[in-house]
Amino acid sequence: MYIIPAIDIISGECVRLSKGDYDTKKVYSKSPVDVAKAYSDLGFKRLHVADLDGARSSAPKNLRILEKMVSATSMDIQYGGGVKTEASLRSVLDAGASRVICGTVAVTSPDLFVGWLEHFGSQRVILGADFRDDFVAVSGWEKQTDLRLDTIVENFYTRGLRQMIATDISKDGMLCGLDYQRYYKLNELFPDLKITISGGISSIYDIERIDRSKIDSVIVGKAIYEGRINIEELSKC
């Protein structure tokens, strides 16, 4: 299982939100690049970067920071936020990301998203499925849809999807633990899908429990920044 530290960016700063609410923004560093370098120096192989400015608009907004992260580290970076056109997807790849996370476009333009899976490959295009109470949310988590999580995954799984990030918005940034059974069910329904869990990680215990399952990877954010998980101990995992 991969442990993937997270960097969320607003206005060029490293921040965290609670339940996806932008009004709860808390700044942890003025330099996301320095934070990325620290993770790389500790031996982490992958990094999750969420462009929260981009998520609320029509295009990625922090690609210069992504370029600097790529230059400063050796990590495999997955980047999401505002990727709604092929031009924006290409711009993220051109900036050096190894994988691009697509959420809103998969809901609003599913055929376009499938085209990206076919053209760019399922190893580079990730479905970002952000949900509350089983229903997917889009546009930086601000708009709730009536589309169920398992329905959208099934729609794309049969058309080539092989990677997804499932984020429980109700738990994101709350340090409250996970609804493990929800993810285990997804894993059973779609055995060839590499599932990354995001939202609610509160301790090393959460990570150890996930590691006993067949889940591919887990994203850890606020638990690191708030000192709930020792970063050096985590890197040894």
pTM of the model: 0.93
CA dist., res. 43 & res. 46, Å (int): 9
Q: What pLDDT shows up at residue 173?
A: 66
Q: How far apart are CA 98 and CA 78, in angstroms?
A: 6
pLDDT value for 2 = 92
- Residues marked as catalytic: 8, 130
| β strands within the chain, DSSP E | 2-10, 13-18, 21-29, 46-51, 76-80, 99-102, 125-132, 135-138, 143-148, 163-168, 194-198, 217-220
pLDDT in tens, 149-196: 999 999 999 999 999 999 888 776 666 668 888 888 999 999 999 999
Intervals of the chain under pLDDT 70: 140-142, 172-177
What would the two tokens of residue 228 be? 């709930």
Please check whether residue 195 is in contact with residue 169, taking contact to mean a CB–CB distance below 8 angstroms: no
Asked if residues 221 and 210 have their Cβ atoms less than 8 Å apart, the reply is: no
Determine whether domain 2-236 maps to CATH 3.90.79.10: no
- Listed in order, strand segments (DSSP E) in 59-198 are 76-80, 99-102, 125-132, 135-138, 143-148, 163-168, 194-198
pLDDT of residue 72: 98
